Homo-oligomer: A and B are copies of this chain.
Amino acid sequence: MTEPTGHMIIAGEAVAGSGATIRAVDPSTGAALEPPFGYGDAGDVERACAAAAAAFGPYRRTTPVRRAEFLERVADNIEALGDALVERAHAESGLPVARLTGERGRTTGQLRMFAKLLRDGDVEVPRIDPALPDRTPPRPDIRQRWVPLGPVAVFGASNFPLAFSVAGGDTASALAAGCPVVVKGHDAHPGTSELVARAIADAVAASGLPAGTFSLLFGHGPDLGTKLVTDPRIRAVGFTGSRTGGLALVAAAQARPRPIPVYAEMSSVNPVFPLPGALAERGAEIAAGFVGSLTLGAGQFCTNPGVVVAVDGPALRAFANAAASAVAACEPSTMLTPGIADAYRRGVAALAAHPSVEVLAQGVEHDRPAACRPALVATDADAFVADEALREEVFGGCSVLVRCRDAEQVRAVAAAMEGQLTATVHAAESDHAEAAELLDVLELTAGRVLFDGWPTGVEVGHAMVHGGPFPSTSDPRTTSVGTLAVERFLRPVAYQDVPTALLPSAVADGNPDGLLRRIDGRPGRH
């Protein structure tokens, strides 16, 4: 089936929600899209969570290879949806087909990456401290492996209808860890969500897994979302979205009788620091790259470069002029939803009205309700540090240039900023001494520090960190992109003097799973 039917998918079954009805909107035309989708209610949450809890036992006991085959099936099924999936996602999000084709590749690539991690036996590194019977007192045999936390609730993001949504990174890493998943789909792309959910549910069935391994619900965030997060069977939450939404989920999760971890990726302005040598050497090139990154996908990336911090002077003025010209020439881009476009316009207007802000450029004027004009504004470092309104994220293609007196003030601005997903430095060879001092600040502020590039475009791999200190995420100790993300859904358990016949294979004698393990701390495939 390649057309959405307006259903939730609960433990393999198509369920029509009995609540309020929503339709996706094509943001490029404002037209409502068929079919209608009914919101789910408390009974649907109950049913999905009960099924997930029932699935947890059998699912967590599957072998890593079986979970790998399942994830690969999900990827295959998503690809089998063909153009229909990309077209539906395009209609619902306004994102270009080429971008969505790339995003689909990223989504299936992530699923296969976690499958490979499972096949390679690299989800966890068990530890074994063998018994020392002759020690005084004798040391028992202690073995440690990692077990999945339990059913995970995932909240789809608006800005990545595939890669951070129903079968996105949170879902893939939770399933890899051995956790059933209940997704709350985003209202902006219900049809895309249903199609992907069917791809997952079909893979669940074809893999002979319990149907409750996966469910998709629709519903009102503060109502159904809170019900989902506070259901006692849910044991962790993955979220990508606004700071308000993320903090509400954290508060709900903390208020439970048994609190659970929430991995919320929320808010980041992703500062860029072009240093004097780099500006002098290649200011025009940096300006072009900056505006390209700022306006990519209508600026709707978590890693969009929303702040530029540099020492004022002729080189920065030349950079600002070049960037302003490029911004002024930008045609309007369609945003994901009319509501997001409204919020963007309000954010830019508030900045423009700020007494310490000068508007350097805005893109070409237009009258399309769901489109945006990129914007570049400027302020000075003292004002930026003094007023947090200037440091808040405006979701979309808007950036604030912060002019500093000297390198020391650049570092002071960096230190005054809240936690960030990324921080970017542009440095010539002559800037390296200063860059080293700045790096020392930025590695404490951001999850990823990059040089001479742009923060948009998050590579999926082993070393990536898509995370960072609060408020960029609610938990800086991890990442939502890359293989490390699987650790979010695991916890360690120690087995002391457990009889050989009863030991889990991950910590069994002879290493039957071929895992990297630490024996008395010493790592090896032993």
A residues near B (Cβ < 8 Å) are 57, 117, 120, 122, 125, 127-129, 137, 139-140, 142-144, 147, 149-150, 250, 254, 258-259, 261, 418-419, 427, 432, 435-436, 439-440, 443-444, 446-453, 457, 459, 461-465, 467, 469-471, 474-479, 483-484, 490-499, 501-502, 504, 516, 518, 520-521, 523
Asked if residues A459 and B139 are in contact (CB atoms below 8 Å), the reply is yes
Contact of A495 among B117, B419, B449 (CB under 8 A): B449
How far does the Cβ of A135 sit from chain B's closest Cβ, in whole Å?
Answer: 10
Contact of A494 among B142, B464, B474, B496 (CB under 8 A): B464
A479 to B142, CA, bound (A): 14
A242 to B447, CA, bound (A): 34
A-B contact pairs, 15 of them (CB 8 A): A57-B440, A117-B521, A137-B457, A142-B464, A149-B476, A432-B499, A439-B502, A443-B493, A447-B494, A450-B496, A462-B518, A463-B518, A465-B494, A478-B491, A516-B523
A484 contacts across to B, CB distance below 8 A: 127, 144, 492
Count this chain's copies in the assembly: 2
Asked if residues B521 and A462 are in contact (CB atoms below 8 Å), the reply is yes
Contact of A128 among B448, B453, B463 (CB under 8 A): B463
How far does the Cβ of A273 sit from chain B's closest Cβ, in whole Å?
Answer: 13
**Other 8 A-B pairs with CB < 8 A, given A142-B463, A451-B496:** A142-B459, A144-B484, A259-B474, A261-B477, A439-B498, A447-B493, A451-B498, A478-B491
Asked if residues A497 and B147 are in contact (CB atoms below 8 Å), the reply is no
How far does the Cβ of A301 sit from chain B's closest Cβ, in whole Å?
Answer: 15
For the complex of A and B, the 5 pairs showing the least CB-CB separation, nearest first, are A450-B496, A465-B494, A127-B463, A144-B463, A448-B494
Contact of A446 among B143, B144, B462, B493 (CB under 8 A): B493
A147 contacts across to B, CB distance below 8 A: 443-444
A475 contacts across to B, CB distance below 8 A: 261
A478 contacts across to B, CB distance below 8 A: 491-492
Determine the residue in chain B with the shortest Cβ distance to A490: B477
Contact of A464 among B144, B418, B490 (CB under 8 A): B144
Asked if residues B449 and A494 are in contact (CB atoms below 8 Å), the reply is yes
Asked if residues A129 and B461 are in contact (CB atoms below 8 Å), the reply is yes
A459 to B496, CA, bound (A): 10
Contact of A501 among B142, B432, B450, B491 (CB under 8 A): B432
Determine the residue in chain B with the shortest Cβ distance to A489: B477
Determine the residue in chain B with the shortest Cβ distance to A427: B499
* CB-CB under 8 A for A470 and B259, given A453-B496, A463-B143, A498-B451: yes
A258 to B493, CA, bound (A): 30
Asked if residues B459 and A476 are in contact (CB atoms below 8 Å), the reply is no
A462 to B507, CA, bound (A): 14
A117 contacts across to B, CB distance below 8 A: 521
A476 to B453, CA, bound (A): 38
Interface-centre pick from A122, A443, A471, A493 (highest chain B CB count, 10 A): A493
Asked if residues B459 and A129 are in contact (CB atoms below 8 Å), the reply is yes
Asked if residues B464 and A498 are in contact (CB atoms below 8 Å), the reply is no
Asked if residues A127 and B427 are in contact (CB atoms below 8 Å), the reply is no
